[in-house]
Structure 1
Amino acid sequence: MTSQDCDKKLFLLDAYALIFRAYYAFIKNPRINSQGINTSAIFGFTNTLFDLIKKENPSHLAVVFDVGETFRHREYKEYKANRQETPEAIRIAVPYIHQILEALKIPCMSKEGYEADDVIGTLAKKAEREGYTTYMMTSDKDYAQLVSENIFVFKPASRGNDIEIWDIEAVKDKFQVETPSQVIDLLGMMGDNVDNIPGIPGVGEKTAKQFIKEYGSIENLFAHSSELKGKMREKVEANKELGLLSKKLATIETNVPIEFNYESLTVDKPNVDQVIKIFEDLEFRNMIVNFKKTYPNIFESENGPEKDLSNSVSVTGQRSLFDTLDQDIEMKESSNWKTIENTDHLYQLTETPMAVKLLVEKLSKQNIVCFDTETTSTDSMIAELVGISFSYEKAKGYYVPFNTKDKEKTQELIEILRPFFENENIAKVGQNLKYDYKVLRRYQVEVKGILFDTMIAHYLINPDARHNMDILAETELNYKPISIESLIGKKGKNQKLFSSVPLDEQKEYAVEDSDITLQLKNKLDPQLAKDNLKKLFTEIEMPLMKVLVDMEWCGINLDIHALQDMSKELVEDLSRLEKEIYSLAGEVFNINSPKQLGDIIFDKLKLGNKPKKTKTGQYATGEEVLLKLAHTHKIIDLLLEYRQLQKLKSTYVDALPDEVNPITKRVHTTFAQTVAATGRLASNNPNLQNIPIRTPRGQEIRKAFISKDHNHKIISADYSQIELRIIAAMSKDSAMINSFNNGEDFHKATASKVFHIPMDQVTKEQRSHAKTINFGIIYGVSAFGLSEQTGLSRSESKNLIDAYYAAYPELKKYISEQIETARKNGFVETLLGRRRYLPDIHSKNNVVRSHAERNAVNAPIQGTAADVIKIAMIKIHELLHEKNYQTKLLLQVHDELVFDAPDEEIKEVSALIKNTMENSVRMEVPLIVDVGVGTNWLEAH
């Protein structure tokens, strides 16, 4: 705290600022109890409150809420108009928070017609006159205007940073003002997107700070506007009223008609039974323990209420997402973490060849060892080793550093370590092992033995969460690791800087990683078994990791000259389109300027009814807007084509040549196993799974992906309608199964059933409609959605869906059962046990709940398809090695595999690929694979 501390210390909490902050802290990993209530906001807010009471020991405390519209809404109807509707979870949370505060005997304050900041501002000023030191707890920068010698902004900790306390000097430094009151003028000039305060158009933060420096206030700026030049003078003088209104909206009212009764704001003894009852109802087991730590004097003994109450909570459902955060008691803002500074540990530096030999002897006697590489780059294809850490026992480990300038010495140490890495009897543990595997391969070392990747393990256990090591250490072990920024500064993205860090600091950082990762392995391994995910982990995900290493290492050949020619053609096409667009518009304008384009489309050409506008007041001209106007005027169709070609050129045609590795002369994408919650792989740097295929111009890009040389060909193997075949098998719908088993054209067969006509009378249009609904059913298509896609009326679409379910009744039953399973268990599973948790399945918001219900049906289908192709990849990879084929698996693009094969192997390998893919998983419905061969990817596909 500061020198201003005194006995009379008042904390005023901005309720909604802290509630929203708590909610979004868990947005990717929400806490859901067994009743289906999203308790993230309640949990986070209460922890923040307890943390504050424990650490700051306030003598006086109040939580202030917003209620209804304020005088600002009357002044400016658009005030806060850009805010999205309050999330349902927060609306549910607020009454619970009120109950908790009431039970804790912490006063809640508000005043109709005023915002929380007005009430807090008024109370702070009144308290100051009474000799109190006031801390306004909020993440809202607007409060800076209230700061004085005895009033401070108390910003909660976030993202690993400690709390911030803004005094007068801090405000002056952060906002570049002479006094805190000038923050009001600053906001009046630059506006505030959060509250939709307009400010002066054209004046951003940088310009506003310059104006404050020169003129001191917004009124003085207007008084001296003649000193400004050009367009800035025009904007300032034209928007005087708007600027003054903005200042008024940004000013926190400090004369709210509310009393400051210091006696009512004292921190009192809570109603223990009431608090505990609320926590039990919410299933906040650890919160009861935290409650005792916050109010230690009200509990009689260590073995009293805490022990009994923390074990008294009844959890009737199966494992749900709230279990995964039980250890996150203090959230990410806590100072109660275990760290390297408060945890006993023994980390040793192992520098000399003799020391490394002794280390290898120790490692060779272990069954399980965790290791982690430190490198000069996050790109494993060019990364050089800075060091390797090892740990096989909690709180103990070793660090072997390398001199990046002495390659001979580095290779000497690597050779000493080689027997450990290539020992198949030692299981190796790591976090994101694929990266380390590839780095070591650059030094001709192959990592052998059973592998355990903690990142992949956690992904299977909780696919929607984040899986980086720092997050896992915090949530699973209540441990906060050393940050790389603390070692090499805020600009630590340059990994090369790590090699300049003193060896002792390198050692602490590096060995801590291995130590923590080993502890994570011991925590996650039993959870895999508990959730029946062990087989998926050991037989699919970990073997697949090695397959991906080989694919990424191999890369794919790119015809740069073909792309350069394509780029020239696109330049010509774009130039032609520009001229046509200008001709139709009747003037030359910047096609890429949303404002200028909006003026042309909506003001000049008068297209569309009631066009939408953005927060800045200009017309919305995104792709969605243009698509709705398609075919209403030729200019719209040309604009859509222009954007499509422009994206092709910038995103693929011009960008792909830059992705060619200068050493291998090939493109090496990275496949991520832990991104898509459904189990699908993702491709990055570059993303080769998004290469366009639906348009002729987009397809041309695939032509640039070519075989190794003239003696090789590209083989493409693609599952045919795999998701439809899987849903037929999983639903056990006899009509669907029979259709596939009989080799029928499934879309035509569906059309025959829903339109009640013989198959030989089905028209092309009817087959197209049937195809749309076949794939749409997997994604929960509605009558409205089907109508949008097919052009049929809403009633025709509804009749079509009804006829579809009548034709496939067992499918309809399966869909209902899947939704019910999700409601009961909180998750759904693929055929092989991959889980997808659906915390919103009980939401009272129909839109949110419907989305979860669609995922309940879709996730097992997509996930099973992902599992099927992964198994095929593993088996094909094994067979190619066993039979000593030179064919290489290069890419996986959802349901397709791409290979590079010598001409003499094509016939045999094509048959091997087709047979293996079709028999990777046995189901009641046959899997069919189409195989193509060509000199390039497009030709093969």
Structure 2
Amino acid sequence: MKKLILIDGNSIAYRAFFALPLLNNDKGIHTNAVYGFTMMLSKILEEEKPTHILVAFDAGKTTFRHETYSEYKGTRQKTPPELSEQFPLIRELLDAHGIERYELENYEADDIIGTLSKKAEEEGFIVKVISGDKDMTQLVSPKTTVMITRKGITDMEAYTPAHVEEKYGLTPHQIIDMKGLMGDSSDNIPGVPGIGEKTAIKLLKQFPTVEELLDHIGEVSGKKLQEKLEAHKEQALMSKALATIHRDIPLSISIEQAAYRHADPEKLRHLYQELGFKSMLEKMGGDTLTEEKPALEAISFSIAEDITDNLFADVSSFYVEILDENYHTGEIIGFGLKNEKGLFFLRAEDALSSEAFKKWVEDESKIKHVYDAKRSIVALRRYGMELRGTDFDLLLVSYLLNPSDTVEDFASVAKTHDYGNVETDEAVYGKGAKRKLPEEKRYAEHISRKAEAIDALCEPCTKTLKDNGQLELFEQLELPLSLILADMEYTGVKVDTDRLKEMGAEFKLRLHEIEQRIYSMAGTEFNINSPKQLGVILFEKMGLPVIKKTKTGYSTSADVLEKLEPAHEIVREILHYRQLGKLQSTYIEGLLKVVHQDGKVHTRFNQALTQTGRLSSTDPNLQNIPIRMEEGRKIRQAFVPSEEGWLIFSSDYSQVELRVLAHISGDEKLIEAFREGMDIHTKTAMEVFHVKAEEVTSEMRRQAKAVNFGIVYGISDYGLSQNLGITRKEAGEFIKRYFASYPRVKEYMDEIVREAKQKGYVSTLLKRRRYLPEISSRNFNLRSFAERTAMNTPIQGSAADIIKKAMIDMAKRLKKEKLRARLLLQVHDELIFEAPEEEIEVLKEIVPEVMEHAVDLAAPLKVDSAYGPTWFDAK
């Protein structure tokens, strides 16, 4: 039997967008509507197994219905840009799935679906219509079932003639008569004022159509109702016409063109990778694209049997190979060396025991071109050697040339610069825990290829860096910083494991107490961590309103519970239970697992990862310790000085990104507020709400803060409305008033987008670039994201540059003052030191001085400092 599935594209996209929280891929592109659409498609294809399938879209804002009633759909809010951006991706998704899509100028998706369903019925098809719009139920027939999405996106209610009869007591064709009488607020169809669904149904059971009813108004019971019908006859007929789906519009597509062509696995896999849909990739059986690998060109190298001075030269390319990803614990397995004397592989055991090698490594006058200086320094220091004389770092240079290029391993960096003569580490050593050494010749050649690649790429990469005006950024900022980060990583941060264990015991006790309160409120014991059991308790036993459903039942995700929080105190307890549980598993048990034998954690700072220039950290991630919850903040109590009589000292930039925005935009009001030392959120509240400082309430300040930081990230009225829990109209008004108060900020936003379109990139104050190839894309989604990125990258990137510069200046100042204080961590806009108690007074003076003068801004930088026996106390 031939089966045709017809999907209302706009309706399902809207449903998906509002059913799921805003999701982003790693490039920051919103994907929640695409993800919801994908889930719906997967379910339909799997369960229905259609022979034919088509997705219909609305072609534009105006249709033939606007000729009848210009206010048709006039009350609908503008589509959120976060959703508009996703429509091109949904179309890509359909193409990859081999699914036909269609739209027709002057008509709606409903009319396309109505016409095709009628034709398909005539040709003997079974038809299923998928929509979120109950207007579609007028198409129901013995051969056509209409599936209407309920809560969520994959949970649907099937409308057959019997179901329509059971639900409304009407025939499917009478749905348009019902709409004619009651109207439809979502489409701004007026209907007859004062007539709702119940009255409309009651009237239609007496008179089957609007026309028949209007011919017999005198027989309707109730004088007021008669008057309403008499006064709005034309409106009722017009409303019925507006609600009627046209089933004979001129289509340029046939049913056969909607034959399901099935998915193109490679296209689909590529799209899922781009979107970051890991679960979808897993269903497809893997997350990598198959790609033919070209054969590597032969190289000539030697395995150095004797490590003597004769191997080394004034300038060499040098690569340190570590089998384990974690170079703090991983074993060095060999070195690659390329210079005027040849290309060599040095065995680890030979080199690390050689005085000639140690002398060359530590000789500042012997220039080394390396890959990832920080990693190389830390690894060699573990073997008692200090790497000096590095003046080229392929990883950092490559990162500066294009921070958008993904660094997977050395081979991916080399390939970025069209040097493909290096295999991936995975191909040579295997993956993850299964990594192991092959026979020596195999890995000796692999390591030698890396040294050769560094040598080959040094000159052209340096030239491009110079041509871009970024040589100073590399030489004065990123390379010196890598040496400081190496010191910080090697030094590590002392952890009071006893305190962590105490906190773990406290958390367990608190979790048990919360658990008992939840059981008491629920009236029964159940597995709180089971979404299925929790859903039954909340929505069936306790009768809380269902906000969203999933394939497996009720959604109990964080965003759902946050919306339910006012409904019952049990929800607040469940949220607290989850947050505390995460702290226990991730930050108590997790931290205890990564404490080294020296009692410290040695996090790895990622210097070449983020596209804005910000540092991140791994093993452990010390930048993500939650500080909004009191229990989360207390975890910092476990970070302590490494020596007796020392303290932790912390200095944090105050609102650095907003100060950068003031400087870059040149907005006089913003600059003046910072110069006068005003609270910027209070100042913005005064401007936006037109009140005096003393009249600013805490709620006004909260909203102003959300606008201030939202502007930095190019927030839309929809995004702000979600953050503040207000309407889009109110959010739009806030943004409008903000730009009216700070006009140069709006001018800056417009100017930077124009500049990005002209140059293809944006720059920070210190000339860090971010390329935006999508800034002129025809794809609305990609273009919009690039425009938002153009607005915020110079701000975020400059803030990142400022704290990096401060770290370098601070290292110099500590050395100059001959202090024993050490820089331990950089977390967002904060620098954390440990120092002897007697040096604290000096730090209180010099740290703010250095940090506040790292870069001169029109809106002066400000630093807040604190100190204490733990990181927690230094706030």
TM range (shorter): 0.5 to 0.7
Partner Cα distance (2:780, 2:345) in 1: 54
Aligned residue runs from structure 1 range 557-572, under 5 A = 557-572=494-509
Structure 1 residue corresponding to 2:860, chosen from 913, 916, 926: 926
Question: 2:235: which partner in 1?
Answer: none
Partner Cα distance (2:799, 2:491) in 1: 25
Partner Cα distance (2:391, 2:475) in 1: 9
Question: 1:618: which partner in 2?
Answer: 553
8 Å Cα contact 1:28-1:464 kept in structure 2: no
Q: 1:680 to 1:348 in 2, by over 3 A?
A: same
Aligned residue runs from structure 1 range 11-22, under 5 A = none
8 Å Cα contact 1:718-1:931 kept in structure 2: yes
Return the offset for 1:532: 2.3
Aligned residue runs from structure 1 range 590-669, under 5 A = 590-609=527-546, 611-614=548-551, 617-662=552-597, 664-669=598-603
State the TM-score, normalized to the length of structure 2.
Answer: 0.66
Report the 3-state secondary structure (helix = DSSP H, G, I; strand = E; otherwise coil) of the residue aligned with 1:565.
Answer: helix
Partner Cα distance (2:390, 2:499) in 1: 44
Q: 1:919 to 1:29 in 2, by over 3 A?
A: closer
Question: 1:153: which partner in 2?
Answer: none
Question: 2:653: which partner in 1?
Answer: 719
Report the 3-state secondary structure (helix = DSSP H, G, I; strand = E; otherwise coil) of the residue aligned with 1:654.
Answer: helix
Report the 3-state secondary structure (helix = DSSP H, G, I; strand = E; otherwise coil) of the residue aligned with 1:873.
Answer: helix
Mean CA deviation greater in 895-904 or 872-881:
872-881
Q: 1:79 to 1:604 in 2, by over 3 A?
A: farther
Amino acid at match of 1:578: E
Partner Cα distance (1:688, 1:72) in 2: 45
State the TM-score, normalized to the length of structure 1.
Answer: 0.62
Partner Cα distance (1:919, 1:680) in 2: 19
Q: 1:80 to 1:553 in 2, by over 3 A?
A: farther
Question: 1:820: which partner in 2?
Answer: 754
Deviations 1:535-556 (A, max 9, x none): 2111111110000000001111
Amino acid at match of 1:589: F
CA RMSD of aligned residues (A): 3.3
Structure 2 residue corresponding to 1:787, chosen from 701, 704, 721: 721
Report the 3-state secondary structure (helix = DSSP H, G, I; strand = E; otherwise coil) of the residue aligned with 2:872.
Answer: helix
8 Å Cα contact 1:388-1:400 kept in structure 2: yes
Aligned residue runs from structure 1 range 29-178, under 5 A = 73=48, 87=89, 90=92
8 Å Cα contact 2:713-2:791 kept in structure 1: yes
Partner Cα distance (2:708, 2:556) in 1: 32
Return the offset for 1:812: 1.2
Question: 1:305: which partner in 2?
Answer: none
Amino acid at match of 2:370: G
Q: 1:518 to 1:749 in 2, by over 3 A?
A: same
Partner Cα distance (2:554, 2:795) in 1: 40
Return the offset for 1:931: 0.9
Question: 2:515: which partner in 1?
Answer: 578
Partner Cα distance (2:671, 2:491) in 1: 39
Return the offset for 1:796: 3.2
Pair 1:525 & 2:462 matched = yes
Report the 3-state secondary structure (helix = DSSP H, G, I; strand = E; otherwise coil) of the residue aligned with 2:326.
Answer: coil
Amino acid at match of 2:412: I
Report the 3-state secondary structure (helix = DSSP H, G, I; strand = E; otherwise coil) of the residue aligned with 1:940.
Answer: coil
Amino acid at match of 1:363: F
Amino acid at match of 1:507: A
Q: 1:720 to 1:583 in 2, by over 3 A?
A: same
Return the offset for 1:431: 1.9
Question: 1:471: which partner in 2?
Answer: 412
Q: 1:566 to 1:923 in 2, by over 3 A?
A: same
Return the offset for 1:88: 6.6
Amino acid at match of 1:445: M
Structure 2 residue corresponding to 1:443, chosen from 378, 383, 386: 383
Report the 3-state secondary structure (helix = DSSP H, G, I; strand = E; otherwise coil) of the residue aligned with 1:424.
Answer: coil
Return the offset for 1:722: 0.6
Deviations 1:523-581 (A, max 9, x none): 32222123222221111111100000000011111111111111111111111222222
Question: 1:363: which partner in 2?
Answer: 312
Amino acid at match of 1:640: L
Return the offset for 1:740: 1.0
Pair 1:510 & 2:444 matched = no
Deviations 1:211-248 (A, max 9, x none): xxxxxxxxxxxxxxxxxxxxxxxxxxxxxxxxxxxxxx
Partner Cα distance (2:88, 2:765) in 1: 37
8 Å Cα contact 2:547-2:560 kept in structure 1: no
Structure 1 residue corresponding to 2:362, chosen from 422, 431, 434: 422
Partner Cα distance (1:715, 1:257) in 2: 72
Report the 3-state secondary structure (helix = DSSP H, G, I; strand = E; otherwise coil) of the residue aligned with 2:833.
Answer: strand
Pair 1:453 & 2:393 matched = yes
Question: 1:748: which partner in 2?
Answer: 682
Pair 1:412 & 2:353 matched = yes
Q: 1:390 to 1:724 in 2, by over 3 A?
A: same
Return the offset for 1:910: 2.5
Partner Cα distance (2:767, 2:685) in 1: 33
Q: 1:855 to 1:483 in 2, by over 3 A?
A: closer
Amino acid at match of 1:476: H
Q: 1:827 to 1:427 in 2, by over 3 A?
A: same
Report the 3-state secondary structure (helix = DSSP H, G, I; strand = E; otherwise coil) of the residue aligned with 1:900.
Answer: strand
Deviations 1:152-188 (A, max 9, x none): xxxxxxxxxxxxxxxxxxxxxxxxxxxxxxxxxxxxx
Return the offset for 1:767: 2.3
8 Å Cα contact 1:422-1:447 kept in structure 2: yes
Report the 3-state secondary structure (helix = DSSP H, G, I; strand = E; otherwise coil) of the residue aligned with 1:506.
Answer: helix
Aligned residue runs from structure 1 range 179-190, under 5 A = none
8 Å Cα contact 2:318-2:369 kept in structure 1: yes
Partner Cα distance (2:724, 2:91) in 1: 36
8 Å Cα contact 2:495-2:600 kept in structure 1: yes
Question: 2:706: which partner in 1?
Answer: 772
Alignment identity in percent?
A: 36
Q: 1:470 to 1:393 in 2, by over 3 A?
A: farther
Question: 2:476: which partner in 1?
Answer: 539
Partner Cα distance (1:842, 1:762) in 2: 42
Return the offset for 1:70: 8.9
Q: 1:769 to 1:564 in 2, by over 3 A?
A: same
Give the gaps of 5 or more residues in structure 2: 1-24, 29-40, 57-85, 101-115, 117-153, 155-254, 258-288
Partner Cα distance (2:46, 2:731) in 1: 48
Report the 3-state secondary structure (helix = DSSP H, G, I; strand = E; otherwise coil) of the residue aligned with 2:406.
Answer: coil
Report the 3-state secondary structure (helix = DSSP H, G, I; strand = E; otherwise coil) of the residue aligned with 2:343.
Answer: strand
Aligned residue runs from structure 1 range 869-888, under 5 A = 869-888=803-822
Amino acid at match of 1:824: Q
8 Å Cα contact 1:669-1:684 kept in structure 2: yes
Tell me how many residue pairs correspond in the alignment: 623
Deviations 1:261-316 (A, max 9, x none): xxxxxxxxxxxxxxxxxxxxxxxxxxxxxxxxxxxxxxxxxxxxxxxxxxxxxxxx
Question: 1:386: which partner in 2?
Answer: 333
Return the offset for 1:393: 5.7
8 Å Cα contact 1:469-1:517 kept in structure 2: no
Structure 1 residue corresponding to 2:301, chosen from 338, 344, 347: 347
Q: 1:72 to 1:812 in 2, by over 3 A?
A: same
Pair 1:911 & 2:845 matched = yes
Amino acid at match of 1:479: G
Report the 3-state secondary structure (helix = DSSP H, G, I; strand = E; otherwise coil) of the residue aligned with 1:805.
Answer: helix
Partner Cα distance (1:866, 1:379) in 2: 25
Deviations 1:898-917 (A, max 9, x none): 00001111111231111100
Structure 2 residue corresponding to 1:333, chosen from 256, 281, 291: 291
Partner Cα distance (1:72, 1:519) in 2: 55
Deviations 1:598-631 (A, max 9, x none): 23233333333452314xx333322122222222
Q: 1:486 to 1:674 in 2, by over 3 A?
A: closer
Deviations 1:454-475 (A, max 9, x none): 1111111111211232123334
Partner Cα distance (1:674, 1:843) in 2: 27
Report the 3-state secondary structure (helix = DSSP H, G, I; strand = E; otherwise coil) of the residue aligned with 1:899.
Answer: strand
Partner Cα distance (2:680, 2:455) in 1: 50
Q: 1:853 to 1:707 in 2, by over 3 A?
A: same
Pair 1:701 & 2:635 matched = yes
Partner Cα distance (1:558, 1:580) in 2: 33
Q: 1:478 to 1:670 in 2, by over 3 A?
A: closer
